[in-house]
Amino acid sequence: MASIFQPGIYKGKVLFITGGRSGIGYSIAEEMMRFGASACILGRDAKGLQESAAALEKSTGSKCLAAPADVRSKEDLAKAVKACLDKFGRIDFVVCAAAGNFLAPISGMSENAFRTVIEIDTIGTYNTLKATLPAVRETKGAYLHISATLHYAGTPYQAHVSAAKAAIDALSNVIAVEEGPRGVRSNVCAPGPIANTEGMKRLGTKGREIERGIPLGKQGDTTDIAYYALWLFSPAAAWVTGSTMVIDGGQMHIRGTSLPYPESVLDPESVKELYKGKL
């Protein structure tokens, strides 16, 4: 990517990222740091977070602060923002990547389970916005919200995540409108299936089954999202706000779900009854 992005383009800039210990969040931090940014990564696993920060510094040569925090806690986020400002003096870019997921139908999901994902994804994003906004206004910075494509269709077993991500998309659009006059930008990235992430492991769908439904024939990589962030936070995207970038290899245009339908939502006997005399 050095041939595309200018070395040191983010020197002196500071990235604040929730869900930065692993997966997409880690990859965004790593690529931004390769091009000069300092980073503050957040997560609930304090030990794992320290290990990730050390690994990021070693691989990039830039500074990284580990700030243990649960995005559901306003107090945790306030402490993390203060720690970031104390160490680096500013916050230019915020990535909201903290998320939770599991497979469950509405009929079999408890209210508490539904609420947990809403609290991590939606309330966590809201809390992050509230905690960082004063600092981001100072730098006329930008937000990137990691969403999904699940809510673009009725995806079985993903009502909780679909609701949470739809709300995040709306929050981003409102921030774009409310804060645009102050020079603050806000955008969404909606990844499709990204290989070797915690989310894909939890969903449990086999890679080849997914890839058959992707026009480009393969799952994405975390760097596919990170490279988008590199561009989005750069001067090249200075007039981009209130947008959603779908990065899914074209998947959303040919189907709504990677699960076989209606087999995925009915028991075998019901499927046989449904198709009796039709096949």
DSSP, collapsed to helix, strand or coil, labels residue 66 as strand
In the structure encoding, which two tokens stand for residue 39, read together? 């980073």
Catalytic, 270? Answer no
State which H helix or E strand residue 67 sits in.
strand 64-68
Q: Active site residue: 162, 165, 172, 186, which one?
A: 165
Catalytic, 218? Answer no
How far from the centroid of its chain's Cα atoms is residue 20's Cα?
10
Pairwise CA distance, residues 17 & 163, whole Å = 22
Pairwise CA distance, residues 107 & 268, whole Å = 18
In the structure encoding, which two tokens stand for residue 123, read together? 């309330």
Burial of 71 from C-beta contacts in 10 A (0-12 / 13-18 / 19+):
buried
Largest CA distance in the chain: 71
DSSP, collapsed to helix, strand or coil, labels residue 277 as coil
Pairwise CA distance, residues 258 & 248, whole Å = 13
Nearest one of 147, 143, 146 to 184, comparing CA atoms = 143
In the structure encoding, which two tokens stand for residue 178, read together? 């409310």
Q: Active site residue: 27, 147, 186, 258, which one?
A: 147
Pairwise CA distance, residues 184 & 8, whole Å = 22
CA distances from 38 to 9, 28, 65, 81, 110 (A): 12, 12, 8, 14, 41
Residues identified as active-site: 147, 165
